[in-house]
Chains A and B, each alone.
Chain A
Amino acid sequence: MTSQASGGTGVALFDLADRRLAWLGAREGVLSQNVANANTPGWKARDVVPFASYLASSGSSAGTLVQTSPMHLKGTLPDGTEGKVQPGEQSPDGNAVSLDEQLVKIAQTDTDHELASTVYTKYLGMFRMALGR
């Protein structure tokens, strides 16, 4: 069954929630790197590509990474990309990690993960109800 055909039955929602959870997991990994390196000289905060572009890029083959440069290695999930450094945010040793900003992003990831997993569980519950179990 293709994803187009399964879209009609609603199974695509599972696929979407699955990708969302994978993306959130990858993001949590990248954000934890930022916090661990909050005092490393020269380290700049990173983030993953936004979910929308990750989804668009993995439309046909789920989980493949867009190579924005031929120098990039092919990964399985969105990789960390260095964000723009706001002026005045960089300390004299070249570190540009705002702990508050990172913690806000982590809280966001937490909430989004809760949403995605709730959608998944509820939807599964509907299937169970239809099956009478």
Chain B
Amino acid sequence: MDLDKALSISAQGMQVQTTRLRVIAENLANQDTTGTSPSGNPYRRKTVQFENQLDQATGEATVKVKKIGEDMSPFPQRFDPSHPAADKNGYVRTPNVNSFVEVMDMREAQRSYSANLQVMQVTRGLLTRAIEMLK
């Protein structure tokens, strides 16, 4: 039945947004995680990529997380000679996490999540109304 499919598609949509939010939380929590030695890398920002997936059982196009990748942009540097991870010139490489970008991404994830939730509520309303026709 289509309404049941709609419910599971919305659930899938909410699940991928939750994964996205988890990755954002990881990035924000690690935005100050530097290496412990001059050769060690600091935390590298993670990215999440979505992909459309055809559910073989129902024939519906659901959504899934394609992969959690890494942001390969260069690390910003900060002058801090006393830091254990400082190189011979006194610079420490810091994570390539921009908290503004993460917060904006978080807002978008929240918006998509609530849209899916709203679809779910409407679908549930349709199902309830169909059941009430039996009474």
Contact B60 A29 (CB under 8 A): yes
Is there contact, CB below 8 Å, between A36 and B125?
no
| A contact patch SS | helix
How many A residues, CB 8 Å from partner? 34
Residue interface bits B34-78, CB-to-A below 8 A is 1, else 0: 000000000000000111100000001111000000000000000
**Cβ of A106: which chain B residues have Cβ within 8 Å of it?**
118-119, 122
Chain B stretch 12-47: residues in CB contact (< 8 A) with chain A: 12-13, 16-17, 20
Determine the distance from Cα of A39 to Cα of B76 in the docked complex, in whole angstroms.
29
Does B126 contact A113, Cβ atoms closer than 8 Å? yes
**Interface set, chain B 94-111, CB cutoff 8 A to A:** 108, 111
A112 CA / B50 CA spacing, docked (Å): 32
Establish whether residues B115 and A99, one from each chain, have CB atoms under 8 Å apart when the complex forms: yes
> In whole angstroms, how far apart are the Cα atoms of A36 and B126 in the complex?
18
**Residues A32 and B126 in contact, CB atoms below 8 Å apart:** no
A107 at the interface (CB under 8 A from B): yes
Docked CA distance A37–B65 (Å)? 11
Let me know if A43 and B122 touch, CB within 8 A.
no
The answer to whether A38 and B112 touch across the interface, beta carbons within 8 angstroms, is yes
Beta-carbon contact of B3 and A36 below 8 Å = no
Does the CB pair A33–B115 fall under 8 Å?
A: no
Chain B contact residues: helix, strand, loop or mixed:
helix
Q: Is A66 an interface residue when CB atoms closer than 8 A count as contact?
A: no
Contact A35 B111 (CB under 8 A): no
Decide: B3 and A37 in contact? CB cutoff 8 A: no
Which of A28, A29, A32, A99 lies in contact with B112, CB distance below 8 A?
A: A99
Q: Is the CB–CB distance between A29 and B119 below 8 Å? A: no
- B62 close to A25 (CB less than 8 A): no
Residues on the A chain within 8 Å of B129, using CB = 113-114, 117
A-B contact pairs, 17 of them (CB 8 A): A21-B130, A25-B1, A28-B3, A28-B6, A29-B2, A29-B60, A32-B10, A32-B116, A33-B9, A36-B16, A36-B116, A38-B13, A39-B17, A40-B52, A103-B115, A109-B126, A110-B125
Given contacts A36-B13, A40-B63, A117-B130, 10 further A-B contacts (CB under 8 A): A24-B126, A26-B2, A35-B10, A40-B51, A99-B112, A102-B115, A103-B119, A109-B126, A110-B125, A120-B133
